[in-house]
Amino acid sequence: MTMNKVAIIGVGHTKFGKIQDKGLMDLLCEASLTAIEDSNTNDKDFDSVYVGAMSPEILNKTAGVASALVDRISLIPAAADDIKNGPASGGSAIKAGFQAIASGMSELVLVVGGEKMTHITTPGYVTSTVATLTQPEAERPHGVSLPSFAGLLTRAYLEKYNAKLEWISDIAIKNHKNGALNPNAHFQKTIEDFMKIAIEKGRGSWDNIYEFLSDDKTNPIIADPLRLFHICPISDGAAALVLCNAEKAKQYNDMPIMISGVGQATDTHIVFEREEIITLKALKICSSQAYQMAKKTPKDIDVAELHDAFEILEAVQSEDIGFFKKGEGAKAAHEGLTEIGGKIPINPSGGLKARGHPLGATGVAQVIELYWQLRGEAGKRQVTSAETGITCNFGGFGNNIISILVERM
Amino acid sequence: MTMNKVAIIGVGHTKFGKIQDKGLMDLLCEASLTAIEDSNTNDKDFDSVYVGAMSPEILNKTAGVASALVDRISLIPAAADDIKNGPASGGSAIKAGFQAIASGMSELVLVVGGEKMTHITTPGYVTSTVATLTQPEAERPHGVSLPSFAGLLTRAYLEKYNAKLEWISDIAIKNHKNGALNPNAHFQKTIEDFMKIAIEKGRGSWDNIYEFLSDDKTNPIIADPLRLFHICPISDGAAALVLCNAEKAKQYNDMPIMISGVGQATDTHIVFEREEIITLKALKICSSQAYQMAKKTPKDIDVAELHDAFEILEAVQSEDIGFFKKGEGAKAAHEGLTEIGGKIPINPSGGLKARGHPLGATGVAQVIELYWQLRGEAGKRQVTSAETGITCNFGGFGNNIISILVERM
């Protein structure tokens, strides 16, 4: 049999950032209602709703978020499930929605990802919550957290490939530059902007951006050698997609975007057991699945949204997803190949670094950015004539990765 | 297009109960490995793993359970996701696995549900955890919990249908009688057994079981009028299924069981907003979906596993799933129609009351009981020549229900 094809016919994206006047459910509702309105489905019945949120139980003292959402936005009796895969919960929710339609069980599906985190004020609480993804015997009791893994990975990468930390900084610089063009981004400032503000406020004086980024006060070390500006923020936000059987998509939308490849793969839970820490085996596998399903190769990709929770990850992912040879990702970023207008633009949205990272929302927001790029609706950050895009959404520390390939219909 | 058909080719079921020497991951591994061995798939690659567990984040301080499981049982790089729908997380995980195969995205899928709860010793902690499913503004702050809803529902039912509380007790009596025949059950004792033990220990003396069940000491009121023996226990345990594209099922298993109907529907999150508290609208809808998909009617069902977290629920569900007219479910149980050997045997496993209720495990255990019944492998609790069965797995307080219909191939 051939599976039903699946198209995106509507999107909704809240502002990401420190959203003090809204709770998790408010954010999910806002993104969902925007997506439904955008889809022109009007009062058509939705069959299923999938919510990707990593930790509402801990961060928001609530469970059954999907069940509550369908009531709040009047989609009852639609089926509703919460899908969890750490910071890749959004990607997994999209995959669940994709399978609901591909199987023929659903025609019209709402997928929404979101997280509300910035209300947590206890120091370390959010990082500890995310660290519940680490291995409970071999890693967590030894104080390992996701930032510490990223620090180790950076050291290993710089040493093995004779790369420079400045090249990793270049990724942050690029992503902040892109984020400054994205009205939904958590940070709509370039790093130059941050430097100018610091100078104006008399916090110091620097000749150039690299000097500013080496200052222990303005850019403190978080997980050596990674500093604050190498790491994504803690954000609030939500993002939603309306998915539809592709055969019916044009009834609702003049220019639906097709989800033509979906891949997901796991790797060892214990990071030190991996053959090579610098290679994301799960990404190699899941992106291959997505390329194969869509009958594409990395060369066909015009734009990508990768999971730069730590800037080193964008470099490594850009290699393992097939854009650059092993060890050349950071250098490529340094040389500008991944900028908007470069050979393969990565994270025109600003990525997790600048758009922000409300865990469950990220995987959905990545696909929305590609939807806008492929429709030519990305405003000042538009990649010229983008027709095909791919994502990498990262669960745990690379032990469960999802890749979604979208293209124009 | 027609969707791929889905068959069950292997099952694994740990003992349910107070399992002191095993953690959540141990239980999930045990059920999974048993199911995989039972499926004769040997070293065949699994494509996907779905884990249904309601609250590992809160009860076990761990997240990303599915990712961790695939590593522990060496199924890497299989895709892995956690599926949550409160106490119906197991049912939702089965639906996710069903859709993975029905869509053609997966061929071989492991579905496992489980929960580890009895290690929690803080009074009220587990009930509060489950109460995170109630509406956070209209219900939870007023002290509403799931047992309190069940108490209210019981009062409304008894009044409206002129039913007797003893008939609700009869459901508990039947389920304990069945559970006594189930080696995996949390309680393998009839209520008569409990009464005899209490008499031997000098705790009192009663002429019959109804007297024993009216004793405030031996059977205290939990949520008036419901007493301890009207309510399921807190249990540990896990249950797993291996699902396979039905076309290939006989390569592995002489007598695979087909999942021929799957339904899921939601109702208002706020219970007092329902048209009628005594009618489970979501169950009416989702069971209709399952019947329709399988081209069956309630008359075709030979055996059912319903979600008797509170014994009143079995009565109400037996009506809304189509076995009895509205208001006649409790009386039917009182008259023995739902016993093994009765008109429509319900919960031959012992149900949640006696088999126990490790939240995420329940939906999967229900389907396993039907698998055994349909294959004639249910031992002393075998329903004669059962060919078709259906489940009701209950999320929240009836606001998200799943119904799965299985039949012989």
Structure-block tokens of residue B202: 């000098």
DSSP of B173-213: HHHHHHHTT-TT-S----HHHHHHHHHHTTS---SSHHHHH
Contact A67 B285 (CB under 8 A): no
A64–B58: do the CB atoms touch at under 8 Å? Answer: no
Contact B365, B373 (CB under 8 A): no
Residue that has been written with the tokens 């994270």 in this structure: A347
First to last CA, chain A: 21
- pLDDT for A117: 95
% chain B with pLDDT above 90: 88
Q: Which of A4, A132, A264 sits opposite B61 (nearest CB)?
A: A132
The C-alpha of A119 sits at a distance from chain B's nearest C-alpha, in angstroms, of 17
Question: Mutate which of A103, A273, A404 to test chain B, going by most B C-beta atoms within 10 A?
Answer: A103
Q: Nearest CA of chain B to the CA of A135: how many Å?
A: 7
Which superfamily, per CATH, for A6-121+234-252? Answer: Thiolase/Chalcone synthase (3.40.47.10)
Nearest Cα neighbor of A194 from A218, A160, A159 is A218
- Best of B67, B94, B140, B243 to disrupt the A interface (most A CBs within 10 Å) is B67
CB pairs under 8 A between A and B: 210
Chain A environment of B320 (Cβ under 8 Å): none
Query: Mind telling me how many Å the CA of A76 is from chain B's nearest CA?
Result: 6
Per-residue pLDDT at A354 exceeds 70: yes
Per-residue pLDDT tens over the stretch B18-68: 999 999 999 999 999 999 999 999 878 999 999 999 999 989 988 899 999
- Which whole number is the average pLDDT over A341-349? 98
Q: What is the pLDDT of residue A1?
A: 59
> CB distance B86–A102 less than 8 Å?
no
Interchain proximity A396–B1, CB inside 8 Å:
no
The answer to whether the CB atoms of A96 and B81 lie below 8 A apart is yes
Q: Are B136 and A24 in contact (CB under 8 A)?
A: no
Rounded average pLDDT over B304-314: 98
Over residues B147-166, the mean pLDDT reads 96
Cα–Cα dist A319/B74, whole Å: 26
Total residues found in chain B within this entry: 409
- pLDDT value at residue B127: 83
Is the Cβ pair B270, A81 closer than 8 Å? no
pLDDT at position B153 over 90: yes
Q: State how far the Cα of B283 lies from the Cα of B298, in Å rounded to an integer.
A: 13
Is the confidence at residue B265, as pLDDT, over 90? Answer: yes
> Is B266–A105 a contact, with Cβ atoms under 8 angstroms apart?
no
- Residues of chain A with C-beta less than 8 angstroms from the C-beta of B243: none
Closest to A274 (Cα-Cα) out of A287, A283, A261:
A283
Indicate whether A149 pLDDT > 80: yes
Per-residue pLDDT tens over the stretch B119-144:
998 888 888 888 888 887 788 888 88
Give the strand pairing for A226-227 and B400-408.
unpaired
Find which of B400, B401, B402 to mutate to test the A interface (most A CBs within 10 Å of its CB): B400
Whether residue B52 contacts residue B92, with contact meaning beta carbons closer than 8 Å, is answered with yes
pLDDT tens digits, one per residue of A160-216:
999 999 999 999 999 999 999 999 999 999 999 999 999 999 999 999 999 999 999
Compare CB distances from A67 to B61, B70, B400 and report the shortest one's residue. Answer: B400
* pLDDT 10s digits, B322-372: 999 999 999 999 999 999 999 999 999 999 999 999 999 999 999 999 999
From CA B316, how far away is CA B281, in angstroms rounded?
11
CA distances from residue A33 to A46, A253, B45 in whole angstroms, order as listed: 13, 16, 40
Chain B residue nearest residue A263, CA to CA = B79
| Half-sphere exposure of residue A290: CA atoms within 13 angstroms, side-chain side | 35
Would you call A133 and B64 a contact, using CB atoms and an 8 Å cutoff? yes
| Bond prior to B77 in cis (omega within 30° of 0) | yes
Contacts of A368 (CB under 8 A, 6+ apart): A11, A13, A239, A241
Nearest to B76 among A64, A133, A266 (CB): A266
**Pairing of the two strands A257-266 and B6-13:** unpaired
What residues in A contact B396, CB-CB < 8 Å? 64, 67
Domains of chain B, residue spans: 6-121+234-252
**Which residues partner with A176 through β-bridges?**
none
CA distance A237 to A323: 30
Q: Using DSSP bridges, classify how beta strands A400-408 and B48-52 pair: parallel, antiparallel or unpaired.
A: unpaired
Torsions phi, psi for A407 (to 5 deg): -150, 165
Smallest Cβ distance to B285: which of A54, A63, A77?
A77
For residue A322, count other CB atoms closer than 10 A to its CB: 19
- Asked whether the beta carbons of residue B82 and residue A84 sit closer than 8 angstroms, the reply is yes
Q: Which residues on chain B are in Cβ contact (under 8 Å) with A1?
A: 1-4, 104
Chain A residues within an 8 Å CB radius of B84: 63-64, 81-84
**Where is pLDDT greater, at A322 or B121?**
A322
Contacts of A95 in chain B (CB under 8 A): 79, 81
Question: How many Å apart are CA A221 and CA A218, to the nearest integer?
Answer: 10
- Among B54, B80, B262, select the one facing A266 at the smallest CB separation: B80
CA B342, CA B32: separation in Å to the nearest integer? 33
Tell me the average pLDDT across A15-36. Answer: 97
Residue from B243, B307, B235 nearest B14 by CA = B235
**What six digits make up the tokens of B29?**
């591994």
C-beta atoms of A67 and B133 within 8 A = yes
As given in the structure block, the two tokens for residue B227 are 């007493």
Give the pLDDT of residue B1: 59
Q: Does residue B180 have a pLDDT over 90?
A: yes
User: How far is C-alpha B304 from the geometric centre of its chain's CA atoms?
Assistant: 11
pLDDT (tens digit per residue) in B65-99: 999 999 999 999 999 999 999 999 999 999 999 99
3-state secondary structure of B108: strand
Sequence letter at residue B211? E
CB atoms within 10 A of CB B40: 14
User: Is residue B306 within 8 Å of B392, Cβ to Cβ?
Assistant: yes
User: Which chain B residues have a beta carbon less than 8 Å from that of A86?
Assistant: 63-64, 67
**Concatenated DSSP letters for A349-380?**
T-HHHHH---HHHHHHHHHHHHHHHHTT--GG
> Are B86 and A72 inside 8 Å of each other by CB?
no
Q: For residue A43, give Cα distances in angstroms to A40, A73, B84.
A: 9, 12, 27
Q: Evaluate the CA torsion angle B358, B359, B361, B365 in order and state its sign.
A: positive
Please report residues of B whose CB lies closer than 8 A to that of A135. 68
pLDDT of residue B43: 79
Question: Least CA distance to B105: which residue of chain A?
Answer: A99
Please judge whether A85 and B67 are an interchain contact, meaning their C-beta atoms are less than 8 angstroms apart.
yes
User: At A257, is the pLDDT very low, low, confident or very high (cuts 50, 70, 90)?
Assistant: very high
First to last CA, chain B: 21
For B262, nearest residue in chain A (alpha carbons): A105
Q: How far apart are CA A90 and CA B272, in angstroms?
A: 32
The reply to whether residue A266 touches residue B2, judged by beta carbons under 8 angstroms, is: no
Tell me which residue in A67, A282, A396 faces B266 most closely, judged by beta carbons.
A67
CB contact under 8 A, A95 and B85: no
Q: Which residues of B touch A136 (CB under 8 A)?
A: 61-62, 68
Cα–Cα distances in angstroms (integers) from residue A115 to residues A112, A173, B143, B234, in the given order: 10, 25, 26, 30
**Does A223 have pLDDT greater than 70?**
yes
ipTM over 0.95: yes
CA distance B74 to A247: 39
Distance of CA B231 to the CA centre of its chain: 13
| Interval A31-60: pLDDT, tens | 999 999 999 998 789 999 999 999 999 899
For tokens 């709509």, the residue is: A188
A258 neighbors A236 (Cβ within 8 angstroms): no
